[in-house]
Structure formats: structure tokens, C-alpha cells
Amino acid sequence: MIGHNDHNIIKKITEHFKNMDFDAGYKMLKSSNLSHAATLECEGNAEFYKKNYQNAFEIYGQVTDIDNEYRISRYYYLWASDFFAKGDLVQAFEYYQESIDLDPEFVDAYIDLGALMASIGEFASARKCYEDAMAIDPEDINIRKSLNSLRKM
């Protein structure tokens, strides 16, 4: 389990990676005193935002090898995306929900959960997912387009 201070440091480092400021993120990571598992989570998050999803997935897997109770939002998200692609919608739903529970500000999980809900005709639930995503990232035009298309239904 990670402490509150570690969680805040991970969040700040990940924000750098999300904003494609990898130099600042790695600099902050190098100067941090995070546990090995938390360091690996950050490295996985860097790979995630570089869109090297397989690398991220493998790094997150190393974290669970170290500590099987350590849970990473983006790891659950990647699992959910895989389940969704394979048509296992129940598992995908559960893993998207877990991803959101672990990091309520991780917008990608809301977007993809919204797509899943729309794909099964649960338009009110899909709208709610996209509204939650818009609350997190109001400038994202793709979320706005998805939400607007559902409002017409």
C-alpha cells in the first residue's frame, strides 16, 4: 500500500508524463524517494503516455509481482481495454470501474466506459460517463463530440 505522500508524488510525476513533459517527470522521479513499486508505476505511466501500452502493461505486471496488493488505475484500464476488444463486456465494465475507483481523475477510463455503455445501448449511462469525463477535461473536443452525439438520442 502506498502512503498519501507517495500518492501525491506519483500524481505529480504522472501529470508531467500526461502533459508530454517527460524530462520533468523523469527528473522528479529520479529525485523522489518512492518505493520500488511506486517508481515502477511511474515508469509504466510514462510508457502509457508515450502510447507504448505493451511496455506499460509489462512494467505494471512487475509491480504486481513485487506487491500483489498494489493496484494501478492504468493497469486496470489496459486490462479493461483488452477485455472490451475481445468482447468480454462484463470484465471490461468491472475493470473500467476499478480503474475509475483507483483514480477518479483518470479521464480515459470514463471515455472508454462510456463507449462500452453506448455499444450495449445504455445511452443514459454512457452520457453520464462522458459528462464525468467533461468535468475532468472540459477542453477535450472528442469528449464533447461523443456527449453531443448521445444527447441527440
CATH number for the domain spanning 120: value is 1.25.40.10
Final residue of a domain: which of 66, 84, 108? Answer: 66
One domain, residues 57 and 85: no
* Residue 72 near residue 102, CB atoms below 8 Å: yes
One domain, residues 11 and 39: yes
Q: What is the pLDDT of residue 116?
A: 97
Mean pLDDT of the chain: 94
What's the predicted TM-score (pTM) here? 0.92
One domain, residues 51 and 99: no
Quote the CA–CA distance of 138 and 134 in Å, as a whole number.
Answer: 5
102 burial (CB, 10 Å; 0-12 / 13-18 / 19+) is middle
One domain, residues 87 and 129: yes
Strand ranges (E), the chain: none
153 burial (CB, 10 Å; 0-12 / 13-18 / 19+) is exposed
One domain, residues 16 and 48: yes
Owning domain of residue 134: 73-151
Number of domains in the chain: 2
Reply yes or no on whether the pLDDT at 5 is more than 90: no
Quote the CA–CA distance of 24 and 76 in Å, as a whole number.
Answer: 26
Final residue of a domain: which of 48, 66, 84? Answer: 66
One domain, residues 108 and 124: yes
Q: Quick one: pLDDT band at residue 122, thresholds 50, 70, 90?
A: very high
Final residue of a domain: which of 12, 42, 66? Answer: 66
* pLDDT average, residue stretch 102-111: 96
The candidate with the shortest Cα–Cα distance to 110, out of 61, 152, 73, is 73
